[in-house]
Amino acid sequence: MGKHLKSNLCRRSKEEVSVSAVTLGPIQESRVSFSPMRSRFTKAQFEGHLLRTITSANLSFEVTEEPIFRELLDLVYSGPQALEVPSLKKLRYYMHDIVTTYQELQLQDLPGDSKVSIALCCWKGPFGQDFMAITAYYFDKEWSYREVLLGFELICRSETGNDPCDQILGLIQEKGLLHRIFSVTVDYRVDENLMLLLREKLTSSGGISSWQCFVGVPGIVQTI
């Protein structure tokens, strides 16, 4: 009987060998039986989809640093190599690049001799931070109404030594819109001193003239 089990004619021994050869665990086993069809995505596609998942589900970027989250992705992927999950810092840079590229593409539709209206809206963070949404409104080359979020800036307080007006003007200038402003609208929740100083700096920098529209409108502080 022993000689029979050791011989090539015994089917039982072959079955036992084939079963023991794949008892490696769920992740390793799936990689052994990996199909090339499952690797048909690029690193950029993976990072883009991961970014959309995090933002649409209102998750924190820190979720990418959680070991259990990385283990889940590794288990679902089951590719021939370990899945490279970007860090939260890298993901933030990636999101910034996507937004910047989108803004540049949108502003390409702005005719060369056209101007934009700028709207400043206050937002309050969960820990008391002050944010400013800076939005440009204009008509494109086809006379379609467009709006582009230029920035969602954390406003530095004056006691820190940073001038929030310079921060806002710097962003507008960076987008090439400083000398193309038709009007500026600010909600009343913006600090009055900040609003007056911003108007003064916009006038002195040539962004607007003294006769152009710079108005405040009733509004409420939005909460993030």
d(CA 222, CA 115): 27
For 138-173, letters b (16+ CB in 10 Å) and e give: beeeeeeeeebebbebebeeeeeeebbbebbbebbe
Class at the top of the CATH hierarchy for domain 90-222: alpha beta
Report the alpha-carbon angle 205-211-216, nearest 5.
Answer: 85
What is the pLDDT, as a whole number, of residue 34? 43
What is the pLDDT, as a whole number, of residue 81? 64
Cα 99 to chain centroid, rounded: 7
Residue limits of CATH 3.30.420 in the chain: 90-222
What is the pLDDT, as a whole number, of residue 138? 92
Segments in the chain below pLDDT 50: 13-37, 219-224
d(CA 93, CA 83): 20
The percent of residues in the chain predicted with pLDDT above 70, rounded, is 67
What is the pLDDT, as a whole number, of residue 217? 54
d(CA 72, CA 24): 18
Radius of gyration for the chain, computed over Cα atoms and rounded to the nearest angstrom = 29
Interval 85-124: pLDDT, tens: 777 788 888 888 888 888 888 888 888 888 899 998 888 7
Cα 205 to chain centroid, rounded: 31
